[in-house]
Amino acid sequence: MTMQQAMYRADERSRGHLAISTAGLTKRFGDRTVVDDLALAIPSGAVCGFVGPNGAGKTTTLRMLLGLVRPTSGSGTILGGSITEPATYLNKVGALIEAPAFYPQLSGRENLKALARLGQLPLSAVDPVLERSGLLARAGDKYRSYSLGMKQRLGIAAAMLADPKLLILDEPTNGLDPGGIVEMRGLIRSFAGDGITVLVSSHLISEIEQICDYVVMIRAGRLVHQGSVSELRAAQQPDFIVAPEHDADLPQLAGLFQEAGCTVTQRPAETTVLIEAPGFGAADLNRLAAKGGVTLRQLTESTRSLERAFFALTGTASADVPSGQEMGAIK
Amino acid sequence: MIWAAFTSEWTKLRRPTLLFSTFLGLAFAASLFVILMFSQARANGGLVTLHQLAQPNGLVIGVARASMLLGVVAFGIAASQVASEYSLGTLRQLLVRQPRRAVLLAGKMLGTITFLVLALCFAAVVALIVAVAAAQSRHVPTGAWFTGTGLGDLFRELGDLALAVLGYSILGMALGQFVRSAVFAVIVGFAWLVAVENIITRIVPSTEQWLPGASITAVASGGVEGVGYAHGMILGVVYIVAAIAAAMIVFIRNDVTA
């Protein structure tokens, strides 16, 4: 990002310009409330992560923003246009909702041409977005011959076709291999560098943490938190990583902290413990250990990850995270 | 804006697989009827006589007989074109680029109808060439075909067939909109047009003049016994307008969750 772009984004935020704002946004399917009284306020220029467990209502919310699903109640404004009149803003929006969907028998280029014609966009816009998404060399091949990563990239190219001011990406790394995930991450970051507001949903919090500077968390259709990632981290009580001078003192040290009301987690294959100690500072923990006759070799403050912040905000136990899967995945 | 949706639809429709299979498929079906008719024609009696084939309207008899088959094929293609947008998930891409749903549907309908009418025209040209060749082989004089009367009959029949294809296409697209599954739409459509209407009219013959498939077939054939041309035309228009209105309402109001 250039200095000018950074200043522009900072200026946009300071003036409080919102790319997306909703109030009381609600969607019911029959008796089931999927999105409940959602009030979003996403600043222009932000790369915003939209986080929530599977079934939290992320995709339904994104569909409402794109005019695909009609809200049961509530209002909203996207790029200055009312959510009830999607035609007023969708010409400035690019979107990839769920899995990319194109005509299998057409080439990647022909698929984009069909969309360009529909949106009354110049056909000359097709090749540059194919190039940017790294698909130009295979643009003439049929879509059905593409790998999952290529399909995903074509979806991104389609979203970029209208030179959007807002990009809405629903689980863009779904199904990608590690290499593809890194590429996608880079691509999304590059959009941010262009001053495009990006709303990217994911159930992988670690993914969001790496690319987003703003985050919206929902659970069971309700807003849990929204704000900048740095503010969220700052607001979290830090944890401490503690190690005794002698490894044999580890159980005694853990017992001392537990008695004091701290939550102690033994770190696998390590001679340290992770201490969640609300209201305690490093000095308090050091004093507690000394009083119990244990000398500390290590006492390090550890900033909570976004994942832990999510669990803290939603009251979900971190044990809900399936072991052996992606570290940031919310079940 | 409808033009944009129309040209976008044609980008999809003109793909070689669909283009060749539709155009050649319809041409084959129409030609097959012509060949069968000429090969089975007798001097006296039978489905059609050699004398009838030598009349000014002899050129169009075969194509007219194929109208039901052409209509069913058009119905299936139209239904699958609309329904596949749901099953492939492409509809959400389209609606982001064209959120005015009535405009999108109108453009898509226009695209599909022109595609099928052009396929019909191609089939008619091929069938006419086949008819001339078949007439030569059966020693049927063709002089009357190319008189003013013969050509008038030809163009009138082609116009009626085009109207019928339009009707079948719209009914197919409306059904595709409702069932949202290409395979299911084609099965339901074929079952209704080929089997259900036949069964109903055999049990209660008086219903024939009120059924959509029978009405449109009557238009394609310039009127049939039991359903006059004018009656078929009026009723067909009523069905088509109702189908368009219902498809529009469903398309505009329904959430796109596919």
Residue A136 or A241, more confident: A136
- Residue B128 clears pLDDT 60, i.e. is over it: yes
Distance CA A198, CA A189 (A): 9
What pLDDT is attached to residue A178?
84
Looking at residues A126-136, what average pLDDT do you find? 92
Q: Which one, of A256, A293, A292, lies nearest residue A273 by Cα?
A: A256
What pLDDT is attached to residue A257?
87
Looking at residues A158-179, what average pLDDT do you find? 89
What pLDDT is attached to residue A283?
85
CB of A114 within 8 Å of a chain B CB? The answer is yes
Q: What number of C-beta contacts closer than 8 Å exist between A and B?
A: 85
The phi, psi pair for A142, rounded to 5°, reads: -65, 145
Nearest CB among B92, B94, B257 relative to A118 is that of B94
- Residue B186 to residues A128, B17, B175: CA-CA distances in angstroms? 39, 18, 9
Q: Which one, of A67, A87, A144, lies nearest residue A110 by Cα?
A: A144
Provide the pLDDT confidence category of residue A84 given band limits of 50, 70 and 90: very high
CB of A32 within 8 Å of a chain B CB? The answer is no
- Residue B70 to residues A132, B128, B130, B230: CA-CA distances in angstroms? 46, 15, 17, 21
Cβ–Cβ below 8 Å for A87 and B100: yes
Give the distance from residue A14's alpha carbon to the nearest chain B alpha carbon, in angstroms.
30
Percent of chain B scoring above 70 in pLDDT: 99
Cβ–Cβ below 8 Å for B255 and A104: no
pLDDT tens-place string over residues B51-103: 888 888 887 776 777 777 888 888 889 999 999 999 899 999 999 999 999 99
- Residue A264 clears pLDDT 80, i.e. is over it: yes
Cβ–Cβ below 8 Å for A95 and B96: yes
- Residue A232 clears pLDDT 90, i.e. is over it: no
Residue B68 or A113, more confident: A113
How many residues make up chain A in this entry?
Answer: 331
Looking at residues A125-144, what average pLDDT do you find? 93
What pLDDT is attached to residue A305?
66
Q: In A, which residues are within 8 Å of B82 by CB distance?
A: none
What pLDDT is attached to residue A303?
64
What pLDDT is attached to residue A318?
42
pLDDT tens-place string over residues A24-83: 999 999 999 999 999 999 999 999 999 888 888 999 999 999 999 999 999 999 999 999
**Residue A48: beta bridge partners?**
A199, A214
In this structure, what DSSP letter does residue B149 have? H
Cβ–Cβ below 8 Å for B8 and A115: yes
Nearest CB among A70, A103, A120 relative to B88 is that of A103
What pLDDT is attached to residue A52?
86
Q: Which amino acid is at A168?
A: I
In this structure, what DSSP letter does residue B49 have? B
CB of A193 within 8 Å of a chain B CB? The answer is no
Contact residues for A288 (Cβ-Cβ < 8 A; gap 6+): A256, A257, A260
- A306: tokens are 């976004």
User: How many CA within 13 A on the CB side of residue A19?
Assistant: 25
Distance CA A329, CA A242 (A): 26
Distance CA A156, CA A324 (A): 30
Mean pLDDT of chain A: 83
Looking at residues B178-193, what average pLDDT do you find? 86
Distance CA A140, CA A148 (A): 17
Q: What are the E-state strand segments in chain A?
A: 18-29, 32-38, 41-43, 47-51, 73-78, 81-82, 93-96, 166-170, 197-202, 214-219, 222-228, 239-244, 263-266, 273-276, 296-302
- Residue A326 clears pLDDT 90, i.e. is over it: no
Provide the pLDDT confidence category of residue A329 given band limits of 50, 70 and 90: very low
CB of A67 within 8 Å of a chain B CB? The answer is yes
CB of A98 within 8 Å of a chain B CB? The answer is yes
Distance CA A85, CA A78 (A): 10
Nearest CB among A98, A104, A118 relative to B8 is that of A118
Which ranges of A15-144 would DSSP assign to H, the alpha helix? 58-65, 108-118, 126-132
Distance CA B85, CA A278 (A): 54
CB of A190 within 8 Å of a chain B CB? The answer is no
- A70: tokens are 């009609």
The DSSP code sequence of B9-48 is: HHHHHTSHHHHHHHHHHHHHHHHHHHHHHHHH-BSSSSSS
Is residue A45 within 8 A of residue A8, CB to CB? The reply is yes
Provide the pLDDT confidence category of residue A328 given band limits of 50, 70 and 90: very low
Distance CA A124, CA A133 (A): 15
Looking at residues A126-131, what average pLDDT do you find? 94
Distance CA B110, CA B6 (A): 6
What pLDDT is attached to residue B114?
94
CB of A69 within 8 Å of a chain B CB? The answer is yes
- CA angle at A250 for the pair A245 and A253, rounded to the nearest 5°: 95
Q: Which one, of A328, A301, A327, lies nearest residue A239 by Cα?
A: A301
Distance CA B105, CA A178 (A): 40
What pLDDT is attached to residue A141?
95
- Residue A320 clears pLDDT 70, i.e. is over it: no
What pLDDT is attached to residue A143?
95
Minimum CA–CA partner of B8 in chain A: A114
Nearest CB among A87, A102, A113 relative to B99 is that of A87
pTM of the model: 0.81
Cβ–Cβ below 8 Å for A68 and B255: yes
The phi, psi pair for A219, rounded to 5°, reads: -150, 130
What pLDDT is attached to residue A269?
66
Cβ–Cβ below 8 Å for A119 and B4: yes
pLDDT tens-place string over residues A187-204: 888 888 888 999 999 877
Q: Which amino acid is at B108?
A: K
Cβ–Cβ below 8 Å for A97 and B92: yes
Provide the pLDDT confidence category of residue A20 given band limits of 50, 70 and 90: very high
What pLDDT is attached to residue A314?
67
Nearest CB among A68, A110, A115 relative to B97 is that of A115
Give the distance from residue A105's alpha carbon to the nearest chain B alpha carbon, in angstroms.
7
Is residue A102 within 8 A of residue A151, CB to CB? The reply is yes
